[in-house]
A and B are shown apart, each in its own frame.
Chain A
Amino acid sequence: MRAALLIQRGGAGEAPREERFELDFEPGESVLDGLRRLRVSADATLAFRYACLNANACKECMMLLDGRVIYACTARLEPREMRLAPLPNKVLLRDLATVIAPPDERL
Chain B
Amino acid sequence: MTHLEADVLIIGAGGAGMYAAIEAVRRGAERVLLLDRSLIGRGGATVMAQMTVAAAVGAGDHWEHHLADTLTAARGLADPALAALLCEAGAACILEMDEWRVGWARSGDALAAVQAPGHDRARCVYVDFLNTGPAVSRTLRAQVQRVGPAIRRLGEVAVTDLVVQDGAVTGAVALHVASGEALTIAAPATIIATGGLTRLYARNSASANMSGDGYALALRAGATLVDMEFVQFFPFGHLAPRLIGMDPIMWDPFRYKLGGRLLNGAMEDFLDRWGGDAEQGRYSTTRDLATYAITKENEAGRGSPHGGAWLSFTHIPEAELRAAFGPVVDKLAANGIDLTRDCIEVSPIAHYHMGGVRVDPRMRTDVPGLLAAGEAVGGANGANRLSGNAITEALAYGRTAGREAALLAAKGPVRGFAAGLALELLRASGPAVNTAAMVARLQRVMSEDVGPFRTAAGLDRAAAAVAELQAELGLAPPGVPGQPHDLARLDWLDLRQMLLVAAAVIRAARAREESRGAHQREDFPEMREEWRVNQLLRGEGLALSRQAVPA
Partner-B contacts on A (CB < 8 A): 11-12, 26-30, 33, 39-41, 44-47, 49-60, 71, 73-74, 76, 93-95, 97, 99-101, 104-107
Q: Find out whether the CB atom of A40 lies under 8 angstroms from the CB atom of B39.
A: no
In the complex, which range does the number of interface residues on chain B fall in?
A: 35 or more
Chain A interface helix/strand/loop/mixed: loop
A43 to chain B, nearest CB (A): 8
Q: With a CB–CB cut-off of 8 A, which chain A residues contact B336?
A: 28
Q: Find out whether the CB atom of A40 lies under 8 angstroms from the CB atom of B488.
A: no
Q: With a CB–CB cut-off of 8 A, which chain A residues contact B241?
A: 28
A73 to chain B, nearest CB (A): 6
CB closest chain-B residue, reference A11:
B484
Indicate whether A58 sits within 8 Å of B486 (C-beta atoms), given known contacts A29-B242, A93-B178, A107-B179: no
Q: Find out whether the CB atom of A55 lies under 8 angstroms from the CB atom of B483.
A: no
Indicate whether A51 sits within 8 Å of B208 (C-beta atoms), given known contacts A56-B245, A57-B247, A73-B244: yes
Q: With a CB–CB cut-off of 8 A, which chain B residues contact A56?
A: 244-246
B79 to chain A, nearest CB (A): 31
Q: Find out whether the CB atom of A44 lies under 8 angstroms from the CB atom of B244.
A: no
Per the bound structure, the CA–CA distance linking A40 and B487 in Å amounts to 12
Per the bound structure, the CA–CA distance linking A58 and B46 in Å amounts to 11
Of A28, A57, A59, A94, which is within 8 A of B483 by CB?
Answer: A94
A interface footprint on B396-439 (CB within 8 Å = 1, 0 otherwise): 00000000000000000000000000000000000001111101
CB closest chain-A residue, reference B246:
A55
B324: Cβ under 8 A from any A Cβ: no
Of A45, A51, A54, A99, which is within 8 A of B178 by CB?
Answer: A99
A51 to chain B, nearest CB (A): 4
CB closest chain-B residue, reference A45:
B488
Per the bound structure, the CA–CA distance linking A58 and B207 in Å amounts to 9
Partner-A contacts on B (CB < 8 A): 2, 38-40, 42-44, 47-48, 133-134, 153-157, 176, 178-179, 183, 207-209, 241-248, 335-336, 433-437, 439-440, 479, 483-488, 491
- Inter-chain residue pair count (beta carbon < 8 A): 130
Q: Which of A11, A26, A55, A60 has the most CB of B within 10 A?
A: A55
B445 to chain A, nearest CB (A): 15
What would 28 A/B residue contacts be, using CB atoms closer than 8 Å? A11-B484, A28-B242, A28-B335, A30-B242, A44-B488, A44-B491, A45-B479, A47-B486, A47-B487, A50-B208, A51-B207, A51-B208, A52-B42, A52-B43, A52-B207, A52-B208, A56-B246, A57-B42, A57-B133, A57-B247, A73-B244, A74-B245, A93-B178, A101-B40, A105-B153, A105-B155, A106-B156, A107-B176
Of B43, B247, B440, which is within 8 A of A40 by CB?
Answer: B440
Per the bound structure, the CA–CA distance linking A33 and B183 in Å amounts to 32
Q: Find out whether the CB atom of A45 lies under 8 angstroms from the CB atom of B486.
A: yes
> Which 7 A-B residue pairs are closest in the complex by CB-CB distance?
A28-B242, A44-B436, A51-B38, A39-B436, A93-B485, A51-B43, A93-B484
Given contact pairs A44-B491, A47-B486, A49-B38, enumerate 17 new A-B contacts (beta carbons under 8 Å).
A11-B484, A28-B336, A39-B487, A40-B437, A44-B488, A47-B487, A51-B42, A51-B208, A52-B43, A54-B244, A55-B248, A71-B245, A73-B245, A93-B484, A104-B153, A105-B153, A106-B156
Indicate whether A53 sits within 8 Å of B485 (C-beta atoms), given known contacts A40-B436, A44-B435, A101-B39: no
Q: With a CB–CB cut-off of 8 A, which chain A residues contact B38?
A: 49, 51, 58, 60
Q: Find out whether the CB atom of B242 lies under 8 angstroms from the CB atom of A46.
A: no
Q: Which of A46, A50, A60, A105 has the most CB of B within 10 A?
A: A105
Indicate whether A55 sits within 8 Å of B242 (C-beta atoms), given known contacts A105-B153, A105-B154: no
Per the bound structure, the CA–CA distance linking A60 and B36 in Å amounts to 14
B191 to chain A, nearest CB (A): 18
Q: Find out whether the CB atom of B47 lies under 8 angstroms from the CB atom of A94.
A: no
Q: Which of A44, A52, A53 has the most CB of B within 10 A?
A: A44
